[in-house]
Homo-oligomer: A and B are copies of this chain.
Amino acid sequence: MTDPSSAYELLAISVRKLIDATIRTELQPSVIASTAAEIDAITRRLRSEQMPGSFGQRARIDGQSPASGNAVIGVRNPSAPPLMIHDRGNGSVCAEVVLGAAYEGPAGYVHGGVCAMLLDHILGATAHKPGRPAYTGTLTLRYHRGTPLRTPLQAEAWIDHVEVVKTFAAGQLSDGQGVTVSAEGVFIHRRH
């Protein structure tokens, strides 16, 4: 393993698969209880050396991105899809993602709140600059139809215009048939 941080990333990938299996398993309840005990033992071992707060609050920087714990893009966060955002230049960004059972709302469809979460992040990414994060001011979402689970989705966003510290962004979530949710938002850089 060339990059030591990749061990943590691989652990997160394993736990991400475990989340899916936990939701979908049909093993008998009697077997499930002993499995939970095994997982608790692993958790105790991982906790034997752990940072006191959340990932972003770590004092020590050792090559791991401060965003590694992020709820949407964090490669160390098993609850994050994680969204891998590509920069197309000029504030235009996109990401492809397939969402499984962990992101369900209506049967077979992505939870509307998960769509909102992904769009908040990708619209905000139009305004992010290294060391100068942008915070959501307002976000408006329009749901055109259901966003299917287990289907390739594209999230994309772009800058409409910028006013001093405010970036006005727009974006959308789409499947192969077109847009499922569209969004507009204002993202703010705090003055130093």
Which residues of A approach B to under 8 Å, CB–CB?
A: 1, 4-8, 10-15, 17-19, 21-27, 29-33, 35-40, 42-43, 45-51, 53-57, 66, 68-72, 74, 76-79, 100-108, 111-114, 116-121, 124, 133, 135-143, 146, 149-150
Contacts and interface: CB of A to CB of B under 8 A. Distances in A.
A71 B8 contact: no
A11 B57 CA distance: 29
A8 B21 contact: no
A29 B7 contact: yes
A35 to B, nearest CB: 6
A56 B150 CA distance: 13
Nearest to A39: B14
A192 B23 CA distance: 30
A90 B2 CA distance: 59
A19 to B, nearest CB: 5
Contacts of A77: 19, 22-23, 101-102, 104
B24 A7 contact: no
20 contacts: A5-B29, A7-B29, A7-B36, A8-B25, A8-B32, A11-B39, A13-B36, A15-B15, A19-B77, A23-B74, A24-B46, A27-B49, A35-B42, A38-B38, A54-B149, A111-B120, A113-B118, A116-B117, A116-B139, A139-B140
Nearest to A133: B106
Given A120-B113, A136-B141, A136-B143, A66 B25 contact: no
Contact of A71 (B42, B51, B104): B104
A57 to B, nearest CB: 5
A116 to B, nearest CB: 4
Rank and list the top 3 A-B pairs by shortest CB-CB distance, nearest first: A56-B107, A113-B117, A7-B29
A70 B145 CA distance: 18
